[in-house]
Structure 1
Amino acid sequence: MVLREWARDAHAAVEAAREALRHVADDPASLTDDEWVALLGASGAELDELCALADAARRAVTPADTLTFVVNRNLDTAVVAGGRTDVPTVTELVDEAWRLGATEICLQGPLPADAPADGYLRLIEEIHAAAPTMHLHGFRPPEVRDAAARMGVSVADFLRSAHSAGLGSVPGTAAQILDDDVRAHLSGGDVLGVADWVSTIETAHHVGLFSTATMLYGHVETPRHQVAHLRILAEIQSRTGGLTELILMPLLPENVPPHRRGEAARTVSQRETRAVHAVARLLLHGSIDHLQVAWTKHDPQTTGVLLDGGVDDLGGLLIDGDLMPEAGQEAGRVLQVDELVDIADRAGRTPRQRTTGYSDPPADRILAIPQVRR
């Protein structure tokens, strides 16, 4: 009896996915949440068709034969501003990144509790002084709100000051899943609420900054939570137009908070990863043009598969030279140029360097890239 019920449920799921596929091929905007949930469960032939539709949507809005990337360096705020004697100065790190060809510094993480009240602003000014034309992509919504609270000003006032000092854009990280219950469950209650996360991102857009968007999947959330998260991002984009890209990141078992290990830790399957990326591309079609693969979170084979399922961007190279401080969860992760070429070649794409805002870099900042071998 149980086996018959399982087979009946499995057959119903396949039929629901097939019906949703027919609708998404005609008009993605018309799909209901139930239909998107059905597509998130697609497998086999239905998953292959879903990914093909997502890749067709990619080709409709981005150059079909290119794979974009940015030359950047990640810095962890707590490390570079923590007063440690074993860490190079911010100026030294930025100067080296500039000499190595970076066009972006990505800065995330909170300042130490004993840092000066205007410490975030000083850090922006220091980076901007070291490389005035380097794009600074910095401070997640929790850090933005921390900075404003330390200075005793509004979030909008801090962001205006930060923008004037040299901040160019804000990472849309710390989004996790935009559901208060899921966020509290995953983080033990000590997490920025959804309304505050959304408000901070939209305020950044209103003062002239743009931002990325993210989704952390593969823990305690359900497919319906994933759909709701993507809907919220679409609503933000409709109000501000300030989201440049979406990065979908699986929660790796080693990154699960200690109080949730065994409960939230699970291995995310390639099937789920393919479906999440394809659904994101289609649900946000006409809203957010760029879908980035979080290459630090996947094995090379999965990264390659995702490039056939709606992904157009590889993100940052995370370059480091002789000076390599800790950089949070991505410490030591560097994508070499030869690896970049290999990934693009296997996907039938040509690497194309971009800026943080998806424009072409100045001619003197373009990295020398070997020709792909195909």
Structure 2
Amino acid sequence: MTIIGDSGRQIGPLTDAEAVELLGADGADLEDLCARADALRRDLVGDTLTFVVNRNLDTERVGAGTDESRERVRALVAEAAGLGATEICMQGPLPAGAPRDGYLDLIRTITGAAPGIHLHAFRPAEVADAAARLGVTPREFLRRARDAGLGSVPGTGAKILDDDVRTRWAGGPDLPVSDWVDLITTAHEVGLTSTATMVFGHDETPAQQVAHLRLLAGIAERTGGFTEFIAMPFTPPPGAAAPAHTRPTVREMRAVIAVARIMLAGRINHLQAPWPKVGARDAITLLRGGADDLGGLLLDGELDPSAGQEQGLSLTRADVDKIAAELGRPARQRTTRYGLA
């Protein structure tokens, strides 16, 4: 695919070497890169700033599988739906002692609490865990999950799709790249969409970032199952021994978004500016350089705000409108799959 940017200048397809060079862009070169990525964004998806109204739940905190925990989940989901949420997002493994079919039970509980709510849940590692608990293949679990009401899976846990990097980051063995790819691909094949992600800025090289994007683009070409791409800056976990370079700079974040826009064009056309990870101000900067989506509002609610993994991080519709006004773009609520909400 040849991608034409502003003023008719060709900006794609990129060789790996060209993409690596662009990731190092700075000064006027960076401004030019971001302007062309933003022009490509406009050509592909228009000027509308999209967002989804969702609530984040932590599987371990709500998935005990008892009558009491089910009632709590139903109340949390009903509250979210009452506040306007169209999506429940859930990540993390089941707690110890949960029933062997606990993942399926949780899906049924959530989707039964608010008919029409979209459940976006269970990373590849949790899909593998759920299948192992039930003694079935991941494909069979995903089929059962789909039939129980699961709508999509988070493509998180991707980190950098390089086994050496993943082992270093985890401090030991991590889910192998081949397993992550197989689990995501299988989810797409049974009719579940997913996000695509990259966590960057630890000790990986620009070449490894480019290889990661190439791999995602290849999956997207085969399955068409990715709804969006989210690039998240690495943040050391509390108490962890951090490398000397602990967080990407704004320059690095802008370059990654711009290069991802060019490399993924026609394969994954929606790029999110992850405001909970970068803050609203830097999210606006990324939305001026190739990103088009703001992600979820992450409603906390009042019943049990601590039930979510990102408690205290929430946007209102007024916040979104303010961001859209600063960008000079219209804002529109979307569904998980980018339909009209």
TM range (shorter): over 0.9
Q: Does residue 167 of structure 1 match 2:150?
A: yes
C-alpha contact 1:79 1:325 (8 A) present in aligned 2: no
Query: 2:12 maps to what in 1?
Result: 28
Query: 1:7 maps to what in 2?
Result: none
Query: 1:268 maps to what in 2?
Result: 248
Say which SS state the counterpart of residue 68 (structure 1) adopts.
strand
C-alpha contact 1:252 1:265 (8 A) present in aligned 2: no
**Pairing partner for 2:33 from 41, 45, 50:** 50
- Give the aligned residue type for 1:73: R
Say which SS state the counterpart of residue 360 (structure 1) adopts.
coil
Q: TM-score, normalised by structure 1?
A: 0.86
Query: 1:251 maps to what in 2?
Result: 234
The 5 Å alignment of 1:170-209 reads: 170-209=153-192
Query: 1:112 maps to what in 2?
Result: 95
Say which SS state the counterpart of residue 164 (structure 1) adopts.
helix
Partner Cα separation in structure 2 for residue 125 and residue 257 of structure 1: 36
Question: What does the per-residue CA deviation read over 1:276-303, in whole Å, with 9 as the maximum and x for residues that have no partner?
Answer: 0000001111110100011001133211
**Deviation, structure 1 residue 326:** 2.6
**Pairing partner for 1:354 from 323, 334, 338:** 334
**Residues paired across the two proteins, number:** 335
C-alpha contact 2:54 2:296 (8 A) present in aligned 1: yes
Q: Does residue 227 of structure 1 match 2:210?
A: yes
Question: What does the per-residue CA deviation read over 1:182-210, in whole Å, with 9 as the maximum and x for residues that have no partner?
Answer: 00000012421100000000000110111
C-alpha contact 2:65 2:102 (8 A) present in aligned 1: no
Of 166-175 and 337-346, more deviation after overlay is shown by 337-346
Question: What does the per-residue CA deviation read over 1:223-248, in whole Å, with 9 as the maximum and x for residues that have no partner?
Answer: 11110000000010111010010011
C-alpha contact 1:256 1:265 (8 A) present in aligned 2: no
C-alpha contact 2:51 2:295 (8 A) present in aligned 1: yes
**Pairing partner for 2:112 from 119, 129, 141:** 129
C-alpha contact 1:186 1:264 (8 A) present in aligned 2: no
**Pairing partner for 2:24 from 36, 41, 63:** 41
Question: What does the per-residue CA deviation read over 1:125-167, in whole Å, with 9 as the maximum and x for residues that have no partner?
Answer: 1011111210000100000000000000000000000000000
Partner Cα separation in structure 1 for residue 52 and residue 15 of structure 2: 35
C-alpha contact 1:90 1:127 (8 A) present in aligned 2: yes
**Pairing partner for 1:210 from 182, 188, 193:** 193
Partner Cα separation in structure 1 for residue 265 and residue 124 of structure 2: 25
Say which SS state the counterpart of residue 326 (structure 1) adopts.
helix
**Deviation, structure 1 residue 265:** 5.3
The 5 Å alignment of 1:310-321 reads: 310-321=290-301
Unaligned runs of 5+ in 1: 1-20, 362-374
Q: TM-score, normalised by structure 2?
A: 0.94
Query: 2:320 maps to what in 1?
Result: 340
Query: 1:8 maps to what in 2?
Result: none
Of 310-319 and 296-305, more deviation after overlay is shown by 296-305
**Deviation, structure 1 residue 82:** 3.6
Partner Cα separation in structure 2 for residue 336 and residue 283 of structure 1: 32
Query: 2:261 maps to what in 1?
Result: 281
Partner Cα separation in structure 1 for residue 298 and residue 147 of structure 2: 26
Partner Cα separation in structure 1 for residue 303 and residue 140 of structure 2: 34
The 5 Å alignment of 1:133-148 reads: 133-148=116-131
Query: 2:60 maps to what in 1?
Result: 78
- Give the aligned residue type for 1:203: T
C-alpha contact 1:141 1:201 (8 A) present in aligned 2: yes
C-alpha contact 1:110 1:143 (8 A) present in aligned 2: yes
Percent identity over the alignment? 57
Query: 1:16 maps to what in 2?
Result: none
Of 319-328 and 342-351, more deviation after overlay is shown by 319-328
Q: RMSD of the alignment, in Å? A: 2.0
**Closer/same/farther in 2, CA of residues 256 and 57 from structure 1, 3 Å limit:** farther
C-alpha contact 2:58 2:309 (8 A) present in aligned 1: no
Say which SS state the counterpart of residue 56 (structure 1) adopts.
helix
Partner Cα separation in structure 1 for residue 189 and residue 70 of structure 2: 35
Of 265-274 and 345-354, more deviation after overlay is shown by 265-274
**Closer/same/farther in 2, CA of residues 157 and 175 from structure 1, 3 Å limit:** same
- Give the aligned residue type for 2:24: G
Structure possessing the higher radius of gyration over alpha carbons: 1
